[in-house]
Amino acid sequence: MARVCQLTKKRPNVANRVSHSNIKTKKRQLPNLQKKRIWYAEENRFVTLKLSTSALRTLRHKSLADFAKEAGLDLSKC
């Protein structure tokens, strides 16, 4: 699986690393992804998702089913 959050769709970004002499080289900025087992109350089971930490904070306020519906994720396949 790619380094992509399953709910927010965050993915790696390409940026410039700038040296003291102003030489620019490419670098990848990776999202802070965590593999988590989250309780899915509608089906009374755990689902394992690869989530960014910002998505984990959002799950404190939204239910998993609502967040997955917004993201277009089918939790029955997870």
- Tens digit of pLDDT for each residue in 35-57? 999 999 999 999 999 999 999 99
CATH of 13-77, picked from 3.30.2450.30, 3.30.200.20, 2.60.40.2220, 2.30.170.40, is 2.30.170.40
Which pLDDT score, from 0 to 100, does residue 2 have? 87
Instruction: Spell out the domain ranges in the chain.
Output: 13-77
Q: Encode 8-43: b = buried (16+ Cβ within 10 Å), e = exposed.
A: bebeeeeeeeeeeeeeeeeeeeebebeeeebebeee
Condensed to tens digits (0 to 9), the pLDDT of residues 59-68 reads: 999 999 999 9
Across the chain, what does the average pLDDT equal?
A: 95
Tell me what pLDDT residue 68 has.
94
Residue 77: per-residue pLDDT: 85
pLDDT of residue 17: 98
